[in-house]
Structure 1
Amino acid sequence: MIDQDTDAPLAHGPIQACKTFEEFARVLSPYFQFYSKKDSFHGEVAILTVFDGTKELDEKLATSVRGRVVLINAHCQVDVSFYGKDQHALAVKGGARAVVVFGAVQNVATLRKSEMAVLALGNSPRLARDDIGITRGGYIRAESGRISSADYIVGNRDGVVVVEKALYEKRFDVTSR
Protein backbone atom coordinates (compact mmCIF):
# COMPACT_ATOMS: atom_id res chain seq x y z
CA MET A 1 0.00 0.00 0.00
CA ILE A 2 1.27 3.49 -0.85
CA ASP A 3 1.05 6.69 1.20
CA GLN A 4 -1.18 9.00 -0.87
CA ASP A 5 0.82 12.10 -0.03
CA THR A 6 4.39 10.86 -0.53
CA ASP A 7 4.05 7.69 -2.69
CA ALA A 8 6.09 5.88 0.00
CA PRO A 9 5.01 2.43 1.23
CA LEU A 10 2.29 2.66 3.88
CA ALA A 11 3.04 0.34 6.79
CA HIS A 12 -0.47 0.22 8.18
CA GLY A 13 -2.86 -1.34 5.67
CA PRO A 14 -5.99 -3.37 6.44
CA ILE A 15 -4.10 -6.56 7.34
CA GLN A 16 -1.91 -4.67 9.82
CA ALA A 17 -4.98 -2.88 11.20
CA CYS A 18 -6.68 -6.24 11.89
CA LYS A 19 -3.54 -7.63 13.57
CA THR A 20 -3.04 -4.51 15.66
CA PHE A 21 -6.61 -3.76 16.72
CA GLU A 22 -8.07 -7.30 16.68
CA GLU A 23 -11.77 -7.12 17.68
CA PHE A 24 -11.74 -3.31 17.44
CA ALA A 25 -11.02 -3.50 13.70
CA ARG A 26 -14.32 -3.48 11.83
CA VAL A 27 -13.97 -5.21 8.45
CA LEU A 28 -16.36 -3.97 5.77
CA SER A 29 -18.31 -6.37 3.60
CA PRO A 30 -16.20 -8.13 0.95
CA TYR A 31 -18.77 -7.11 -1.67
CA PHE A 32 -17.17 -3.68 -2.23
CA GLN A 33 -15.31 -3.43 -5.53
CA PHE A 34 -12.72 -0.90 -6.70
CA TYR A 35 -13.94 1.14 -9.66
CA SER A 36 -10.77 3.24 -9.93
CA LYS A 37 -7.19 2.92 -11.09
CA LYS A 38 -6.09 3.75 -7.55
CA ASP A 39 -6.61 0.74 -5.28
CA SER A 40 -5.51 1.89 -1.84
CA PHE A 41 -6.58 4.64 0.54
CA HIS A 42 -6.65 5.75 4.16
CA GLY A 43 -7.94 8.69 6.15
CA GLU A 44 -10.48 10.17 8.47
CA VAL A 45 -14.10 9.38 7.64
CA ALA A 46 -16.74 11.81 6.35
CA ILE A 47 -20.28 10.41 6.17
CA LEU A 48 -22.77 11.70 3.59
CA THR A 49 -26.21 10.05 3.69
CA VAL A 50 -28.26 10.73 0.56
CA PHE A 51 -32.01 10.73 0.00
CA ASP A 52 -33.85 10.97 -3.34
CA GLY A 53 -31.23 12.78 -5.46
CA THR A 54 -27.77 14.31 -5.72
CA LYS A 55 -28.43 18.06 -5.37
CA GLU A 56 -27.10 18.50 -1.80
CA LEU A 57 -24.56 15.69 -2.26
CA ASP A 58 -22.96 17.67 -5.08
CA GLU A 59 -22.68 20.77 -2.87
CA LYS A 60 -21.10 18.83 0.00
CA LEU A 61 -18.62 16.98 -2.23
CA ALA A 62 -17.41 20.32 -3.55
CA THR A 63 -17.06 22.02 -0.15
CA SER A 64 -17.01 19.68 2.87
CA VAL A 65 -14.74 16.68 2.27
CA ARG A 66 -11.14 17.98 2.04
CA GLY A 67 -8.64 15.43 3.35
CA ARG A 68 -11.24 12.80 4.22
CA VAL A 69 -12.39 9.44 2.91
CA VAL A 70 -16.02 10.01 1.95
CA LEU A 71 -18.52 7.26 2.74
CA ILE A 72 -21.72 7.83 0.79
CA ASN A 73 -24.63 6.09 2.44
CA ALA A 74 -26.97 5.32 -0.47
CA HIS A 75 -28.81 2.72 1.63
CA CYS A 76 -27.26 -0.13 -0.42
CA GLN A 77 -29.39 0.80 -3.45
CA VAL A 78 -27.84 -0.66 -6.58
CA ASP A 79 -30.66 0.01 -9.04
CA VAL A 80 -29.84 3.74 -9.10
CA SER A 81 -26.49 5.46 -8.68
CA PHE A 82 -25.82 8.47 -6.51
CA TYR A 83 -22.18 8.75 -7.70
CA GLY A 84 -21.25 9.38 -11.34
CA LYS A 85 -18.65 11.37 -13.28
CA ASP A 86 -19.99 14.74 -12.11
CA GLN A 87 -19.92 13.73 -8.43
CA HIS A 88 -16.44 12.29 -8.95
CA ALA A 89 -15.17 15.56 -10.42
CA LEU A 90 -16.64 17.42 -7.43
CA ALA A 91 -15.05 15.00 -4.93
CA VAL A 92 -11.64 15.41 -6.59
CA LYS A 93 -12.03 19.21 -6.68
CA GLY A 94 -13.23 19.18 -3.07
CA GLY A 95 -10.08 17.33 -1.95
CA ALA A 96 -11.51 13.95 -0.95
CA ARG A 97 -8.92 11.22 -0.35
CA ALA A 98 -11.25 8.42 -1.55
CA VAL A 99 -14.95 7.62 -1.93
CA VAL A 100 -16.71 4.47 -0.68
CA VAL A 101 -20.32 4.18 -1.90
CA PHE A 102 -22.76 2.02 0.02
CA GLY A 103 -24.69 1.67 -3.22
CA ALA A 104 -23.98 1.95 -6.95
CA VAL A 105 -21.75 4.10 -9.14
CA GLN A 106 -22.19 5.19 -12.75
CA ASN A 107 -19.72 6.04 -15.55
CA VAL A 108 -17.42 3.14 -14.75
CA ALA A 109 -15.10 3.85 -17.71
CA THR A 110 -14.38 7.33 -16.35
CA LEU A 111 -13.87 6.11 -12.78
CA ARG A 112 -11.44 3.37 -13.90
CA LYS A 113 -8.97 6.12 -14.93
CA SER A 114 -9.14 7.86 -11.56
CA GLU A 115 -6.13 8.42 -9.34
CA MET A 116 -8.53 8.71 -6.38
CA ALA A 117 -9.81 5.41 -5.00
CA VAL A 118 -13.51 4.71 -5.56
CA LEU A 119 -15.29 1.65 -4.15
CA ALA A 120 -18.94 0.65 -4.40
CA LEU A 121 -21.29 -2.28 -4.04
CA GLY A 122 -22.14 -2.20 -7.75
CA ASN A 123 -22.86 -0.03 -10.75
CA SER A 124 -26.02 1.17 -12.45
CA PRO A 125 -26.66 3.08 -15.68
CA ARG A 126 -29.40 5.08 -13.90
CA LEU A 127 -28.19 8.16 -12.02
CA ALA A 128 -30.35 9.69 -9.30
CA ARG A 129 -31.97 13.02 -10.13
CA ASP A 130 -29.74 16.07 -9.74
CA ASP A 131 -32.51 18.64 -9.19
CA ILE A 132 -33.64 17.21 -5.84
CA GLY A 133 -32.07 15.45 -2.91
CA ILE A 134 -31.18 15.83 0.72
CA THR A 135 -27.78 14.92 2.17
CA ARG A 136 -27.02 14.61 5.86
CA GLY A 137 -24.07 13.58 8.00
CA GLY A 138 -24.41 11.10 10.83
CA TYR A 139 -23.36 7.49 10.74
CA ILE A 140 -23.64 4.30 8.73
CA ARG A 141 -24.87 1.09 10.28
CA ALA A 142 -22.78 -1.58 8.52
CA GLU A 143 -22.62 -5.33 9.10
CA SER A 144 -19.37 -4.78 11.00
CA GLY A 145 -20.83 -2.07 13.23
CA ARG A 146 -21.51 1.63 13.32
CA ILE A 147 -19.22 3.94 11.28
CA SER A 148 -19.02 7.68 12.00
CA SER A 149 -16.79 10.70 11.50
CA ALA A 150 -14.96 9.65 14.68
CA ASP A 151 -13.39 6.76 12.71
CA TYR A 152 -10.32 6.17 10.56
CA ILE A 153 -10.55 3.93 7.48
CA VAL A 154 -7.86 2.09 5.56
CA GLY A 155 -8.30 -0.09 2.51
CA ASN A 156 -6.73 -1.83 -0.46
CA ARG A 157 -7.41 -4.98 -2.47
CA ASP A 158 -6.99 -7.03 0.74
CA GLY A 159 -10.06 -5.36 2.25
CA VAL A 160 -11.38 -2.31 4.04
CA VAL A 161 -11.06 -1.80 7.80
CA VAL A 162 -12.53 0.87 10.06
CA VAL A 163 -11.08 1.68 13.50
CA GLU A 164 -11.98 4.38 15.98
CA LYS A 165 -9.72 7.32 15.09
CA ALA A 166 -8.49 7.84 18.66
CA LEU A 167 -7.31 4.20 18.83
CA TYR A 168 -5.71 4.40 15.40
CA GLU A 169 -3.80 7.56 16.31
CA LYS A 170 -2.38 5.93 19.45
CA ARG A 171 -0.69 3.26 17.32
CA PHE A 172 0.00 4.95 13.96
CA ASP A 173 1.06 8.48 13.03
CA VAL A 174 -1.78 9.91 10.97
CA THR A 175 -1.19 13.62 11.60
CA SER A 176 1.16 14.01 8.63
CA ARG A 177 -1.18 12.29 6.19
Structure 2
Amino acid sequence: MKTTDLCDEFIEELQVSEDLFQSFGKKRSFHGPIYTVKVYEDNVLVRRALETIPAGAVLIVDGGGSKKCALLGDRLAEIAVQRGIQGIIINGCVRDTKELATLDIGILALGKNPVKSRKEGKGDSDIPVHFAAVNWIPRHIVYADKDGVVVASRQLLK
Protein backbone atom coordinates (compact mmCIF):
# COMPACT_ATOMS: atom_id res chain seq x y z
CA MET A 1 0.00 0.00 0.00
CA LYS A 2 1.25 3.47 -0.86
CA THR A 3 2.07 6.02 1.85
CA THR A 4 -0.56 8.31 0.31
CA ASP A 5 -3.22 5.62 0.80
CA LEU A 6 -2.02 5.00 4.36
CA CYS A 7 -2.33 8.72 5.09
CA ASP A 8 -5.82 8.82 3.57
CA GLU A 9 -6.99 5.90 5.71
CA PHE A 10 -4.93 6.12 8.93
CA ILE A 11 -3.69 9.73 9.29
CA GLU A 12 -4.72 9.87 12.97
CA GLU A 13 -2.39 6.93 13.71
CA LEU A 14 0.60 8.09 11.68
CA GLN A 15 3.68 10.18 12.19
CA VAL A 16 4.77 11.71 8.89
CA SER A 17 8.47 12.33 8.35
CA GLU A 18 9.79 15.66 7.14
CA ASP A 19 10.95 15.45 3.53
CA LEU A 20 14.68 15.38 4.24
CA PHE A 21 15.83 12.18 2.56
CA GLN A 22 17.29 11.18 -0.78
CA SER A 23 16.87 7.64 -2.07
CA PHE A 24 20.06 5.69 -2.78
CA GLY A 25 18.99 2.02 -2.98
CA LYS A 26 17.34 0.21 -5.89
CA LYS A 27 14.16 -0.48 -3.90
CA ARG A 28 11.94 2.62 -3.85
CA SER A 29 9.27 1.30 -1.54
CA PHE A 30 9.71 -0.74 1.63
CA HIS A 31 8.26 -1.29 5.07
CA GLY A 32 8.95 -3.23 8.24
CA PRO A 33 9.49 -3.12 11.98
CA ILE A 34 11.91 -0.48 13.24
CA TYR A 35 15.27 -1.31 14.82
CA THR A 36 17.43 1.65 15.85
CA VAL A 37 21.00 2.75 16.43
CA LYS A 38 22.14 6.16 17.64
CA VAL A 39 25.70 7.03 16.64
CA TYR A 40 27.80 10.03 15.70
CA GLU A 41 30.33 9.77 12.86
CA ASP A 42 30.98 6.13 13.90
CA ASN A 43 29.39 3.15 12.14
CA VAL A 44 30.48 0.16 14.25
CA LEU A 45 26.97 -0.19 15.73
CA VAL A 46 25.44 0.18 12.26
CA ARG A 47 27.39 -2.89 11.12
CA ARG A 48 26.50 -4.81 14.29
CA ALA A 49 22.80 -4.05 13.81
CA LEU A 50 22.85 -5.08 10.14
CA GLU A 51 24.48 -8.37 11.18
CA THR A 52 21.91 -9.12 13.91
CA ILE A 53 18.47 -7.57 13.33
CA PRO A 54 15.90 -9.93 11.78
CA ALA A 55 15.06 -10.28 8.10
CA GLY A 56 12.19 -7.99 7.16
CA ALA A 57 13.34 -5.22 9.50
CA VAL A 58 14.14 -1.58 8.71
CA LEU A 59 17.21 -0.10 10.40
CA ILE A 60 16.85 3.50 11.56
CA VAL A 61 20.23 5.17 12.03
CA ASP A 62 20.25 8.43 13.99
CA GLY A 63 23.61 9.84 12.99
CA GLY A 64 22.88 13.21 14.55
CA GLY A 65 22.42 14.74 11.10
CA SER A 66 26.18 14.89 10.53
CA LYS A 67 27.22 15.29 6.90
CA LYS A 68 30.96 15.07 7.67
CA CYS A 69 31.27 11.36 6.84
CA ALA A 70 29.30 8.35 5.61
CA LEU A 71 27.68 5.87 7.99
CA LEU A 72 26.86 3.33 5.24
CA GLY A 73 28.67 2.15 2.14
CA ASP A 74 28.37 -0.70 -0.32
CA ARG A 75 29.85 -3.41 1.94
CA LEU A 76 27.45 -2.79 4.82
CA ALA A 77 24.52 -2.47 2.42
CA GLU A 78 25.45 -5.84 0.87
CA ILE A 79 25.30 -7.42 4.35
CA ALA A 80 21.81 -5.97 4.75
CA VAL A 81 20.66 -7.34 1.37
CA GLN A 82 22.08 -10.81 2.09
CA ARG A 83 20.25 -10.87 5.44
CA GLY A 84 16.87 -9.75 4.02
CA ILE A 85 16.77 -6.33 5.66
CA GLN A 86 14.05 -4.29 3.91
CA GLY A 87 15.50 -0.82 4.30
CA ILE A 88 17.83 1.59 6.04
CA ILE A 89 16.94 5.20 6.90
CA ILE A 90 19.90 7.35 7.94
CA ASN A 91 19.95 10.73 9.63
CA GLY A 92 23.38 11.15 8.06
CA CYS A 93 25.22 10.26 4.85
CA VAL A 94 26.13 7.31 2.65
CA ARG A 95 28.94 6.63 0.18
CA ASP A 96 29.53 4.23 -2.75
CA THR A 97 26.32 5.59 -4.27
CA LYS A 98 26.84 3.95 -7.69
CA GLU A 99 26.96 0.52 -6.04
CA LEU A 100 24.11 1.29 -3.60
CA ALA A 101 21.85 2.07 -6.58
CA THR A 102 22.22 -1.53 -7.81
CA LEU A 103 21.32 -3.21 -4.48
CA ASP A 104 17.77 -4.49 -3.88
CA ILE A 105 17.16 -2.59 -0.66
CA GLY A 106 15.61 0.72 0.30
CA ILE A 107 18.20 3.27 1.45
CA LEU A 108 17.23 6.79 2.49
CA ALA A 109 19.79 9.28 3.78
CA LEU A 110 20.35 13.03 4.06
CA GLY A 111 23.08 12.97 1.43
CA LYS A 112 26.41 11.52 0.40
CA ASN A 113 30.01 11.96 1.53
CA PRO A 114 33.05 9.92 0.38
CA VAL A 115 34.73 10.04 3.83
CA LYS A 116 34.47 6.89 5.97
CA SER A 117 33.33 7.08 9.57
CA ARG A 118 35.30 6.39 12.73
CA LYS A 119 35.34 2.86 14.16
CA GLU A 120 35.10 3.38 17.93
CA GLY A 121 31.87 1.52 18.67
CA LYS A 122 30.27 4.42 20.54
CA GLY A 123 26.52 4.90 20.61
CA ASP A 124 23.30 3.13 21.59
CA SER A 125 21.13 0.44 20.05
CA ASP A 126 17.45 -0.42 20.21
CA ILE A 127 16.36 2.84 21.86
CA PRO A 128 13.78 5.42 20.76
CA VAL A 129 15.35 8.18 18.63
CA HIS A 130 13.91 11.40 17.24
CA PHE A 131 14.64 13.16 13.94
CA ALA A 132 12.71 14.40 10.88
CA ALA A 133 9.72 15.19 13.16
CA VAL A 134 9.26 11.48 13.98
CA ASN A 135 9.72 9.45 17.14
CA TRP A 136 11.34 6.27 15.79
CA ILE A 137 10.36 3.64 18.36
CA PRO A 138 11.70 0.10 18.13
CA ARG A 139 9.13 -2.37 16.71
CA HIS A 140 6.82 0.35 15.43
CA ILE A 141 6.29 -0.02 11.68
CA VAL A 142 7.79 2.28 9.07
CA TYR A 143 6.42 2.60 5.52
CA ALA A 144 8.47 4.38 2.85
CA ASP A 145 7.99 5.09 -0.84
CA LYS A 146 8.58 7.87 -3.36
CA ASP A 147 5.90 10.03 -1.71
CA GLY A 148 7.33 9.92 1.79
CA VAL A 149 7.94 8.09 5.05
CA VAL A 150 5.29 7.37 7.67
CA VAL A 151 5.40 5.50 10.98
CA ALA A 152 2.61 3.65 12.78
CA SER A 153 2.57 1.97 16.17
CA ARG A 154 1.09 -1.17 14.59
CA GLN A 155 1.11 -3.12 11.34
CA LEU A 156 -1.43 -1.44 9.02
CA LEU A 157 -1.16 -3.82 6.08
CA LYS A 158 -2.93 -7.16 6.05
| TM-score when normalising by structure 2 | 0.90
Partner in structure 1 of residue 121 of structure 2: 133
1:139-158 aligned at under 5 Å gives the runs 139-158=128-147
The question of whether the paired residues in 1 share the 8 Å contact of 2:40 and 2:66 is answered with no
2:59 is the counterpart of 1:56: no
Partner in structure 1 of residue 99 of structure 2: 110
CA–CA distance in 2 between the matches of 1:104 and 1:83? 7
The question of whether the paired residues in 2 share the 8 Å contact of 1:106 and 1:124 is answered with yes
Shift of 1:57: 2.4
Shift of 1:146: 1.2
Unpaired segments ≥5 residues, structure 1: 1-11
Equivalent pairs, count: 157
1:4-153 aligned at under 5 Å gives the runs 12-130=1-119, 132-134=120-122, 135-153=124-142
Superposition RMSD in Å: 1.6
Question: Who wins on radius of gyration, i.e. which is larger?
Answer: 1
- Give the 3-state SS of the residue equivalent to 2:28 in structure 1: coil
The question of whether the paired residues in 2 share the 8 Å contact of 1:65 and 1:91 is answered with no
* Larger displacement relative to structure 2 (84-93 or 151-160): 84-93
CA–CA distance in 1 between the matches of 2:37 and 2:21? 17
The question of whether the paired residues in 2 share the 8 Å contact of 1:62 and 1:94 is answered with yes
The 3 A distance-change label for structure 1 pair 114 and 100 is same
Runs of 4+ with deviation above 4 angstroms: none
Shift of 1:163: 1.0
Instruction: Determine what percentage of the aligned residue pairs are the same residue.
Output: 23
1:26-67: CA deviation from partner (whole Å, max 9, x where unpaired): 111212111122111011111122245222321221122422
